[in-house]
Every structure is written in C-alpha cells, then in structure tokens.
Amino acid sequence: MADDNEPIRKKGFILNFQTKKLQEIDDKNIINKPRSVECYEKMNILGQGTYGICYRVRDKQTKKEYALKKVKVDKDLFRDGFPISCLREISILKKCNHENIVKLKEVAVGNELQKIYLVMEYCEQDLASLLDNLKKPFTESEVKCIIIQLLRGLEYLHSKYIIHRDIKVSNLLLTDEGCLKIADFGLARTFSVPTKPMTPNLVTLWYRPPELLLGSTTCTTSVDMWAVGCILGELLINKPLLPGTGEISQLDMIVDLLGTPSENIWPGFDQLPACQNFTLKQQPYNNLKAKFPFLSQAGIRLMNFLFMYDPKKRATAEESLSSSYFKEPPLPSDPRFMPSFPHHRNLKSQSSTSSSSSIFASGSKQQQNLNPSRNKFSEMLEGLAKKRKRYE
Ligand SMILES: Nc1ncnc2c1ncn2[C@@H]1O[C@H](COP(=O)(O)OP(=O)(O)OP(=O)(O)O)[C@@H](O)[C@H]1O
Ligand SMILES: [Mg+2]
C-alpha cells in the first residue's frame, strides 16, 4: 500500500488518487519519452568538437539519415543534475524552426544516465572541412548565397532573443541542396533587455569581436555580426581573415586591418577593462580596400558596417540583408544551383561501415579498436580539425 506522504520513487509509476495505489503508467500516456540510441545504426564520425563527437547515423526503422551528437557529460557535473550547457542547447534548438537553423529531431538516451545524444537533421557538409578540401574557391555569387542564408538564420535567432556566440565556419553546415544551417548551440544564450553581464571569453578567437577581446561583459547580438564579417572575408579570400595566435595578436590583426579605435568613434572604449592597463598599437588606416581590391564599393561598405568597432553601430542581420551588395552583380546564386561537393567526411569510412554497428553504449575507444579503417578515418579527421583548430 502506498504511503500518501512518501514521494514516489518507483520509475514509470503514478499514484492513483482514487484508489490511493501505485499504478503502472501505460506507454501510450507517456509523452516525449526519450528513445534509446540503439534505434540508430552508426555509420561514421562527422566531426569531433570540444563538447562531443558527432556521428552520421541511420534510423533502423525508417532508414533515414541523421547526425547524432554525443554530448560530453562529466560524471561529477551530472551529480548536480542535468548539465546546464546541454539543457541550453536542447531548449534553444527546440525553440527554433527556420530553414537556416539545424533541426533537432529528438534527444536519445544510452544505457547509462549520463549518456545523452542529440539527433539532428543530417547535413552533408560543414563549411570548415569544405573550405579545407575545396579545389577552387567559392565564386562571389556563391559567397553571397552562403552569407545571405547565414544572415537569415541570424535574423531569426536575434528576433527570438537568442545570441549564438560561436559563429564560425565549423558550426555552419551545408546540405547537398545548397541550404546553409547554423549548428552548435552549446554556447548560445537567450538575452533580455537590458542585457546582463556574460563571460567575455566565448566566441572562438578568430571570430571574436574587439569588445570581448578588451574585456567587455556585455554580450549582444552584435557579437554574432562581427563573426559574419570574418566569415564573409574568409570566404572571399579563401583563408581565415584574422587568424590570431592569442588575444594580443588577435587585437593586433584587427587594428592592422581596420585602424586603431578611439573614444571618438567608439564611445565607452576608454572605459573597457583591458584599456585600463594596455595600449593598442597605433595604426591610422583602414586597410579593407587594400585587403579586398576586387570588392565593389557596396561590398566594402557592408564589410565596414559589420566591422564597426562600436557594437551599438555594428550592422544588424536585418540591415545587412538589405545591403546593395546582394542586389548588384554578380548576383547571389540560387541555393539549388550551388555546386555539390564530394562527401569528404564519409568517403573513407563508407567501406568500413559495418551493418550492425549498435555500438553507442560500449564506448568509442573500444569501438575504434574493432575497426582499423575507422581508426585511420578518425586520424584523418583529427588532422583536418587540427589544421583549423591550431589557433582556436
Ligand atoms: N547536423 C549535422 N550534420 C552534419 N554534421 C554535423 C551536424 N552537427 C554537427 N556536425 C559536425 O560535427 C562537428 C561538431 O559538432 P558541433 O559543432 O555541434 O560540436 P562541438 O563539440 O560543439 O564543436 P566545437 O566546440 O568544435 O565547435 C561539426 O563541426 C560538424 O562537422
Ligand atoms: Mg562546433
């Protein structure tokens, strides 16, 4: 007989108020019960990020392909409940419904409490590995097509009070249909007006705006917009635009490109924490034109707008979308006519795919040892990741 005052400790049971007895919950009455990761067949590793490994998987029932991100959960952290970074990523992804934001299909669970997996729509490419493997750079029309989609995704996020805070090429996915999807919401936050202080060391160094490098704790949507400027530049010159090796070197590179900021153009600059005991190098010129000699006036104008030192004056996603750069020739490609690329991330592993790889629960190390060609593939991937992650 159940004791009314005792909390229910038995999983899958509910207290019937009429009979005062515990009764089993019928499966049909359980909504959002997480499915087991065993419902998916593992195909190959897609990427290995700071917070988890991402696999290409196939739903055993529907045979549809998905990307499955294994969330790294620290056992000790788990003792205090579900990890907050993971919760944030899930709750933000669930809130989003836009063609330029990666869709979360479901959250699956492993055979242990701390084994959590995000099942997302599968995108054939990520921009980082694509850029590393491209035979010839993107054309300007293709660059415009990519940037417009990135801006649409950000316009949507910012309208929902979400700041991504880690916009970089490895977090931008591309489908074979030429559709760009913003992924990796591990660092994303919702914000309120007025904004609350946030940790400044968030955005990956090469894409980090000057205000965060100088210690500001006000993190606004303009943080994502600086990163758009970096990515626009990177796609146009086919290499990272500001590949600093540390925070000082990052600031130096920014100053070399845009000139030294001052209180005049950026009210509040003198009060930034790092400006109290550190002086930026003196460089009076804006060198954007010299860096992008082939770019039209409208292109330079947009880039300058995205690279405004004062975050309050920096272009918003909406403003950028109405830039004349996107309305003048060469016009943006239609996503459907974007070139298709070899599936670099899957190529090597395809031959090594085993038909019954229900291996999520048994630990990745053990699995890798079972299959030497998968080991090789992982090494190659790691090499690629290292190439880009050198200074991140
Ligand atoms: N939906 C997806 N479809 C295809 N590939 C994906 C998908 N999601 C993630 N990836 C791949 O996995 C990589 C790592 O995923 P993600 O960025 O979400 O993890 P992370 O641990 O937060 O990474 P990092 O900290 O390096 O940014 C991506 O760079 C991408 O290559
Ligand atoms: Mg990532």
pLDDT one-digit tens code per residue, 327-361: 999 999 999 999 888 888 887 555 444 443 444 54
Q: Evaluate whether 120 touches 69 at the Cβ level (below 8 Å).
A: yes
Same domain (yes/no): 101, 135 = no
43 domain residue, yes or no? yes
| Residue 313 marked as a ligand binder | no
How far is it, in rounded angstroms, from Cα 371 to Cα 187? Answer: 33
Per-residue pLDDT for 1 more than 80?
Answer: no
Within a 10 A sphere around the Cβ of 198, how many other Cβ atoms? 18
The 8 Å CB, 24+ separation contacts for 350-357 are 350/44, 352/44, 352/377, 353/43, 353/44, 355/41, 356/41, 357/41, 357/42, 357/43
- 54 in Cβ contact with 45 (< 8 Å): yes
Top-confidence residue, 180 or 53: 180
Atom 18 of ligand 1, residue of closest alpha carbon: 184
Q: Which atom of ligand 1 is nearest to the CA of 129?
A: 31
* Comparison of pLDDT for 51 and 226, the residue scoring more: 226
51 lines ligand 1 (CB under 6 A): yes
Specify the pLDDT at position 233: 98
Question: Are 184 and 292 in a shared domain?
Answer: yes
What percent helix, strand, coil does the chain show, rounded to 5? Answer: 40, 15, 45
170 CA distance to ligand 2 middle (Å): 6
| Phi and psi at residue 101, to the nearest 5° | -125, 130
**Same domain for 195 and 280?**
yes
Domain check: are 131 and 244 in the same one? yes
Average pLDDT over residues 140-158: 98
CA of 392, closest atom in ligand 1:
26
How much distance in Å is there from the Cα of 184 to the middle of ligand 1?
6
184 CB within 6 A, ligand 1: yes
Whether 47 is in the pocket of ligand 1, judged by its Cβ within 6 Å, is yes
Q: How confident is the model at residue 86 (pLDDT cuts 50, 70, 90)?
A: confident
More confident residue, 157 or 337: 157
Of 89, 122, 155, at which residue does a domain stop?
122
Q: What is the pLDDT of residues 39-72, one digit of tens each?
A: 999 999 998 877 678 999 999 999 999 999 988 7
237 falls within a domain: yes
**What separation in Å is there between the alpha carbon of 192 and the centre of ligand 1?**
27
Query: Around Cβ 92, how many Cβ atoms within 10 Å?
Result: 20
Cα dist from 89 to 104, 162, 183, 226, whole Å: 10, 11, 10, 22
**Does residue 229's CB lie within 6 angstroms of at least one atom of ligand 1?**
no
Testing ligand 1's pocket by substitution, the residue of 40, 54, 182 carrying the most ligand atoms inside 8 A of its CB is 54
Pocket mutation for ligand 1, best pick of 174, 184, 203, 388 (most atoms within 8 Å of C-beta): 184
Q: Domain of 129: which CATH number? A: 1.10.510.10
Q: Is 366 exposed, middle or buried (0-12, 13-18, 19+ CB in 10 A)?
A: exposed
Task: Look at residues 296, 318, 337 and tell me which one is the last residue of a structural domain.
Answer: 337
Q: The domain that contains 115 carries what CATH number?
A: 3.30.200.20
- Amino acid 358: pLDDT: 47
Residue 391, pLDDT > 90, answer: no
Q: Is 332 in the pocket of ligand 1 (CB under 6 A)?
A: no
Closest residue CA from atom 7 of ligand 1: 67
Asked if the structure places residue 132 within a domain, the reply is yes
Nearest CA to ligand 1 atom 4: 123
Judge if 70 and 135 occupy the same domain: no
Q: Which residues pair with 174 in a beta bridge?
A: 125, 180
Instruction: Please work out whether the CB of residue 233 comes within 6 Å of at least one atom of ligand 1.
Output: no
Whether 166 and 301 share a structural domain = yes
Domain presence at residue 324:
yes
Instruction: Tell whether ligand 1 has an atom less than 6 A from the beta carbon of residue 188.
Output: no
Query: Facing residues of 120 across strands?
Result: 67, 104
| 302 and 191 within one domain | yes
- Domain extent for 303: 125-337
pLDDT at 220 over 60: yes
DSSP helix/strand/coil, 75: helix
Tell whether 84 and 157 lie within a shared domain.
Answer: no
155 and 303 share a domain? Answer: yes
| Whether residue 235 sits in one domain with residue 176 | yes
54 within some domain = yes
Q: How many domains are contained in the chain?
A: 2
Q: Please report the atom of ligand 1 found closest to the CA of residue 186.
A: 22
Is 290 part of a structural domain of the chain?
yes
201 and 63 within one domain: no
State whether 152 and 294 are in the same domain.
yes
* Euclidean distance between CA atoms 215 and 322, whole angstroms: 31
| Percent of residues, the chain, with pLDDT higher than 70 | 79
Nearest CA to ligand 1 atom 13: 47
Cα of 45 vs centre of ligand 2, distance in Å, is 14
**Domain ends where: 337, 352, 378?**
337
Q: pLDDT (tens digit, 9 = 90+) per residue, 6-28? A: 555 556 777 777 888 888 877 77
pLDDT computed for residue 65 by the predictor: 97
Kindly list the catalytic residues: 166
Query: Does the beta carbon of 173 sit less than 6 angstroms from any atom of ligand 1?
Result: yes
Å from CA of 285 to ligand 2 middle: 34
DSSP string, 97-156: --TTBPPEEEEEE-SSTT-EEEEEE--SEEHHHHHHH-SSPPPHHHHHHHHHHHHHHHHH
Residue 377 has pLDDT above 70, yes or no: no
- Nearest Cα residue to atom 16 of ligand 1: 184
How far, in Å, from the CA of 18 to the mean position of ligand 2?
51
How many whole angstroms separate alpha carbon 209 and alpha carbon 258?
A: 12
Q: Where residue 196 falls among pLDDT bands split at 50, 70, 90? A: low
- Side chain identity, residue 334: D
User: If residue 59 lies in a helix (H) or strand (E), which one and from where to where?
Assistant: strand 52-59
Is 390 inside a domain boundary? no
